[in-house]
């Protein structure tokens, strides 16, 4: 039974992770620009001097908080991806943290920062 991925496989996963990481960074940049750099009037598209209706302010606030929540989730994914890159460098990438067996390539192609094999992940979710 195979204990580690070879150099070619690791290079594939490294490229995959870097590609995902770049996409996430672009999304965070876009969310941040759209959410943080616009005033409430700009965000609502209102250029008149009229005050806001409370419902409009609440909707704008919700949208802004929702976008910032997405950015926060994306940042967590970046942390996970950075950790996976570190594991590639250390030679521990793709090894289940619970049972120490090799995580399948199929799973890692979908979730390249997976820490657990499918069996151990299922056990964890049942707890």
Q: 120 versus 74: which is more confidently predicted?
A: 120
Residue 97 pLDDT > 80, yes or no?
Answer: yes
What are the residue boundaries of the structural domains of the chain, listed by start? Answer: 7-93
**Where is 10: in which H helix or E strand?**
helix 7-36
Query: Which pLDDT does position 16 carry in this prediction?
Result: 96
Residue 2 pLDDT > 50, yes or no?
Answer: yes
Q: 78 versus 37: which is more confidently predicted?
A: 78
- 56 Cβ contact list (under 8 Å, min separation 6): 44
- The model carries a pTM of 0.69
How far is the C-alpha of 15 from the C-alpha of 17, rounded, in Å? 5
* 21-72 pLDDT tens trace: 999 888 878 777 776 666 545 555 555 544 556 666 666 666 666 666 666 7
- 35 Cβ contact list (under 8 Å, min separation 6): 43, 64, 67, 68, 71
Query: Which pLDDT does position 49 carry in this prediction?
Result: 47
Closest CA relative to residue 92, chosen from 2, 1, 4, 9: 4
The alpha carbon of 63 is separated from its chain's Cα centroid by a whole number of angstroms, namely: 20
**Where is 68: in which H helix or E strand?**
helix 54-90
Bridge partners of 95, per DSSP, are: 102
- 94 Cβ contact list (under 8 Å, min separation 6): 4, 5, 13, 87, 102, 103, 108
């Amino acid at each position: 039974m195979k204990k580690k991925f070879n150099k070619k496989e690791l290079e594939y996963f490294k490229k995959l992770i870097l590609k995902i990481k770049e996409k996430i960074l672009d999304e965070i940049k876009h969310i941040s620009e759209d959410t943080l750099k616009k005033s409430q009037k700009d965000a609502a598209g209102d250029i008149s001097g009229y005050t806001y209706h409370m419902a409009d302010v609440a909707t704008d606030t919700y949208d802004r908080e929702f976008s910032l929540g997405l950015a926060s989730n994306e940042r967590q994914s970046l942390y996970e991806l950075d950790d996976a890159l570190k594991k590639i460098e250390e030679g521990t990438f793709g090894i289940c943290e619970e049972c120490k067996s090799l995580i399948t390539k199929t799973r890692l192609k979908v979730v390249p920062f997976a820490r657990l094999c499918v069996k151990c992940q299922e056990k964890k979710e049942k707890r």
